[in-house]
């Protein structure tokens, strides 16, 4: 599995965006300042991808499915450190258990973040400790599910008075959509090339 993940990460790919399916909704200013952020796509020994359900009281993206991660703080030496710090804070993941395999291209969110996704393997067993102020639940989805392009659907909703299209990937009671689904779709497209 690691070899296939590394091969997929080595493939050339362009950055993605929440506007990929909605180019007419993209901001007019190409010089706009995006805030740097990072997420951790952590794969455990059983082939499960660790995801979180965000707390329902949060201001941004309440109740949505997300990767552990967030915006870069001034004290973070780099974006890998951001992803590791956020994973420790949000789900209690010890950085000593994390082996970063590589990164996916950056992803621009509609909320003004430029997210760098780090793909990593978890060494040994991991029992999550969700931070209740941020995370309602931590769960795992099979890597084989989220890296199968056929599992993704394109749906739409009204956003700011216009239809907005987005990727989604349902699994059991969980519905991953928006930036998290778009990032996973990018990984799935690359994994499909490495069969």
pTM for the structure as a whole: 0.94
Backbone phi and psi for residue 173, each to the nearest 5 degrees, phi listed first: -80, 0
| Torsional sign, CA 45, 46, 47, 52 | negative
Residue 158: both structure tokens together: 């009204």
User: 97: which residues sit within 8 A by CB, 6+ positions away?
Assistant: 122, 123, 124, 126
Cα–Cα distance for residue pair 107/126, rounded to 1 Å? 27
Kindly state the average pLDDT of the residues 10-18.
94
Cα–Cα distance for residue pair 17/107, rounded to 1 Å? 5
* pLDDT confidence of residue 24: 86
Q: Say if residue 168's pLDDT is above 80.
A: yes
Burial label for 147, CB within 10 Å (0-12, 13-18, 19+), is buried
* 158 within some domain: no
Q: How confident is the model at residue 32 (pLDDT cuts 50, 70, 90)?
A: confident
* 122 within some domain: yes
Cα–Cα distance for residue pair 7/1, rounded to 1 Å? 10
In this structure, of 35-39, 90-94, 109-113, 150-154, the range with the lowest mean pLDDT score is 109-113
* 84 within some domain: yes
Residues of the domain holding 131:
2-23+34-144
* 153 within some domain: no
Q: How confident is the model at residue 159 (pLDDT cuts 50, 70, 90)?
A: confident
* 140 within some domain: yes
* pLDDT confidence of residue 36: 98
Radius of gyration (C-alpha) of the chain in whole angstroms: 16
Q: Which of 106, 114, 104 is nearest to 32 (CA)?
A: 114
pLDDT, tens digit, 9 for 90 and up, residues 82-138: 999 999 999 999 999 999 999 999 999 988 999 999 999 999 999 999 999 999 999
Task: Give the total number of structural domains in the chain.
Answer: 1
* 49 within some domain: yes
* 13 within some domain: yes
Cα–Cα distance for residue pair 164/156, rounded to 1 Å? 5
* 155 within some domain: no
| CATH number of 135's domain | 3.90.79.10
């Amino acid at each position: 599995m690691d070899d296939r993940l590394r091969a997929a990460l080595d493939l050339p790919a362009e950055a993605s965006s929440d506007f990929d399916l909605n180019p007419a909704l993209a901001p007019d200013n190409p010089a706009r300042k995006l805030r740097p952020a990072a997420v951790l796509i952590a794969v455990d020994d059983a082939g499960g991808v660790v995801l979180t359900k965000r707390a329902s009281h949060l201001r941004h993206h309440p109740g949505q499915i997300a990767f552990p991660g967030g915006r870069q703080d001034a004290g973070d030496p780099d974006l890998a450190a951001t992803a590791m710090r956020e994973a420790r804070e949000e789900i209690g993941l010890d950085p000593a258990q994390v082996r970063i395999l590589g990164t996916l291209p950056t992803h621009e969110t509609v909320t003004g973040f430029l997210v760098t996704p780090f793909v990593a393997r978890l060494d040994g067993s991991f029992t999550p400790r969700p931070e209740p102020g941020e995370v309602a639940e931590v769960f795992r989805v099979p890597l084989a599910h989220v890296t199968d392009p056929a599992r993704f659907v394109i749906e739409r909703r009204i956003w700011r008075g216009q239809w907005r299209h987005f990727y989604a990937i349902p699994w059991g009671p969980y519905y991953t959509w928006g930036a998290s689904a778009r990032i996973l779709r990018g990984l799935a497209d690359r994994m499909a090339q490495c069969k």
